[in-house]
Structure 1
Amino acid sequence: MNVFTTVLPFLSSAVSLIFALLVLRRFGRKRGAHHLLWGIGMLFYAIGGFCEGYYGALGWNPLIFRLWYLFGAMLVAAWLGQGTAYLLIRRRGVAHALMALLLLGSIYGAVRVFGAELDPALMSGGLHTASELSGRAIVTPGVRTLTPFFNLYGTVLLVGGAAYSAWLFWRKRVLLHRTIGNVLIAIGALLPAFGGTFSRLGIPGALYISEFLGAVLLFAGFLRATTPLPQPAEAASAPQTAAS
């Protein structure tokens, strides 16, 4: 069993699933829309990791590939970022409008992905390490061009929101644990993007390593940012955090 193509993806899936259940349990207590969307986003992350591990262990399967591409490659960052949008955007009408667009776009993306023509021959030999899933298996025009829009939207909101929250807490010199937590979240959100770039350059295992480290840092950042600590009186007026 190859550690890069099977073990790491399954570990990423397990970490993401535990994280998702923890956030969804928090949603059950606090009813915050951002918790619900982060929980859904991490479930997508878990599905993507499971599909990668399945491919590494058992090989090509059209359904597994479509699930991976839709949830792992296309939607995960956007849904996580939408959670941050609900947390940081004060005008609820704007957040609701963005959510409506994301939902419609996700449905459209699902229809396109599950209706796309696939070329399994592209998944063997000469593609990265010949062992990593890639969107190049989709031969129907226009499907893969959707993915960068979802990823850019989600990454800007998730990374930008975490960095903004960390900066606010650092500037006010309050809630240092939330500053550290948001920094970890920002780094964790960026890692899969860097891993995808290195993978396209032909570096073996880069994608799955970065996805695993990203899941771990996102989880660690959330735990660090939400750890209850004694707070000074002035912390009552502190800004929202991208993981509260």
Structure 2
Amino acid sequence: MGIKIFYFSATGNSLQIARNIEEELENCVIQSMATCIPNKPVGGLGESIGFIFPVYFNGLPRLVKGFVEKLAISPNTYCFAIADSGGTRSNSLGMMDDILISKGVRLSFADEIKMPGNYIISHNSPNLTEVERLITDASIRTKRIAKAIFNCELQPVKQKAKLWSEIINHRFLYKNAHKLDEKFTATDKCVGCGLCAKVCPVNNIKIENQRPCWQHTCEQCLACIHWCPCEAIEYGRNTIGRTRYRNPNVKVEDIIRSCGGME
């Protein structure tokens, strides 16, 4: 049985989960959703397809939604999905299932994993002790999930807060999407290294006159803020003084590769 996992990760949490599952399973490969969509159908009888992604505003990130909508999936495919978040109650897995149903398949297995929250526009990142605890717990949970996937266990989606999740997801992530990056600024700490542009999964940042310029196609992943080596990027006054977060088991080079760079 072959297993293909598609993941989306800005600060490394979903990438760590994908890697942990890959280590537990044979014939398993992972691919970033920020790279090219396969030009041939994936899956089929005896094949498994997985999706690992963070929760954005109670639902799917726009990049994830667009990727799955365009992905061709063969009938009779065992599909699974893992959503990771800081604990937000949402229907992101239900949204994923709805997309797959429209393609003639559905989620055979769905689960959630709590990881360190990193949306520092609205709240601070957890402290180092809490980060270590959450990642340790997540690794243990991931092993159990990997075993379930290997055995093709069934754990269907439980739709929850469906209407509320759809309203929040649309209002904060889709409505006026072209304005989501208007509050980003680079302070005098910026040295013009261009790393923010390299870690952006949607190529939303261009470097002009040694300063980042946002192009109004923002995903709100905050990779630019968290990976800036000088902590020179702020989102209005919301992020001033707040701790940046990067998964301790993931390197910036991994994120750049997940965006299609460093080939």
| TM superposition score normalised by structure 1 | 0.32
Task: Please identify which structure carries the higher strand content.
Answer: 2
Greater helix share, structure number: 1
Relative to the length of structure 2, the TM-score reads 0.30
